[in-house]
Structure 1
Amino acid sequence: MSGCVFCGIVAGEVPAFTVTDEPDGVAFLDTRPVFKGHVLVVPRTHLVALTDLPADALPGYFRLVQRITAAVETGLGSGGTFVAMNNKVSQSVPHLHTHVVPRTKGDGLRGFFWPRTRYADDAEAAGFAERISAALA
């Protein structure tokens, strides 16, 4: 869809720190991560909400989310993850996307007040993307 930044990333027209690009979706680092290694998983097709995802696409998409979740934990050595999705309300980009956020005990994340951080530079962001990508099963 014209003007959608996530569609631009899927098409390779907008730069991103891509973790994986597969038929079921694309996973890349959030540019404003809650914690470093925060990944967004999007379907290749422009859809706004989970209810727009065709039933036959659910298994592949959520298997990708599941694999990214495992890769974030393994690749970053995090104690777990927070996996979340907004539908329409609070979507900063109106394209279906699932957040996979690395968690560690005592990291300070409370409820839905998401503090944001930044990568020191592109090299640091690329390093996080590579570590997660390398851990994909």
Structure 2
Amino acid sequence: MAAARSLASCIFCKIIKGEIPSFKLVETELSYSFLDIGPLSKGHALVIPKDHTVKMHELPDEYLADAMPIAKKIAIAQGLENFNILQNNGRIAHQEVDHVHFHVIPKPSASDNEGLVIGWPAQKPSMDDLKAFHAELVGKLEGKL
């Protein structure tokens, strides 16, 4: 019942259905894209899969395969040389809308006044820690653990 309520109240699902107006860019059977009304820079767009899924790892692969070429088309159409593709999962990772979506954010200049501004708090793990984590992760990816 909670899933049905979240689907019914989802702003992106309402945009897809045409219940909320948008500046539509590209629509396919699986995806819908439009200009962000609170852009970080001119041309900031969103690509949203039509499947109401909260996090990317829950989204069926065919939606991912459809969304990325749309993001690419939007970047090419704008002639972007510098841009970010952003996708957040979970509140502490800055996800604000509980529906998978991808931002195409132009970065027209080095200025922090336009486009995505991020920090990169790099860590310094030991080579032994990296080696151990690598072995663990490869084992999971290969289905050995």
Instruction: Give the TM-score of the pair, scaled to structure 1.
Output: 0.71
Is the 2:51–2:59 contact (alpha carbons within 8 Å) kept by the matching residues of 1? Answer: no
Task: Give the CA deviation at 1:97.
Answer: 0.5
Deviations 1:63-85 (A, max 9, x none): 2222222223x2xxx43211111
Gaps of 5+ in 1: 113-137
Is the 1:24–1:64 contact (alpha carbons within 8 Å) kept by the matching residues of 2? Answer: no
Task: Choose which of 23, 30, 35 in structure 2 pairs with 1:29.
Answer: 35
Which entry has the higher C-alpha Rg, 1 or 2?
2
Runs of 4+ aligned structure 1 residues displaced above 4 Å come to none
Equivalent residue pairs, number:
108
Percent identity of paired positions between Structure 1 and Structure 2: 32
Deviations 1:72-126 (A, max 9, x none): 3x2xxx43211111012221111100010111232325315xxxxxxxxxxxxxx
Pairing of 1:25-64 with structure 2 (within 5 A): 25-64=31-70
Q: What corresponds to 2:26 in structure 1?
A: 20
CA distance in 2, matches of 1:4, 1:18: 17
Q: What corresponds to 1:111 in structure 2?
A: 118
CA distance in 2, matches of 1:107, 1:23: 37
Gaps of 5+ in 2: 1-6, 120-145
Task: Choose which of 81, 99, 105 in structure 1 pairs with 2:103.
Answer: 99
Distance 1:56 1:17, change over 3 A: closer
Task: Give the CA deviation at 1:54.
Answer: 0.8
CA distance in 2, matches of 1:55, 1:18: 23
Is the 2:26–2:70 contact (alpha carbons within 8 Å) kept by the matching residues of 1? Answer: no
Taking only aligned residues, the RMSD between alpha carbons, in angstroms, comes to 1.6
Instruction: Give the TM-score of the pair, scaled to structure 2.
Output: 0.67
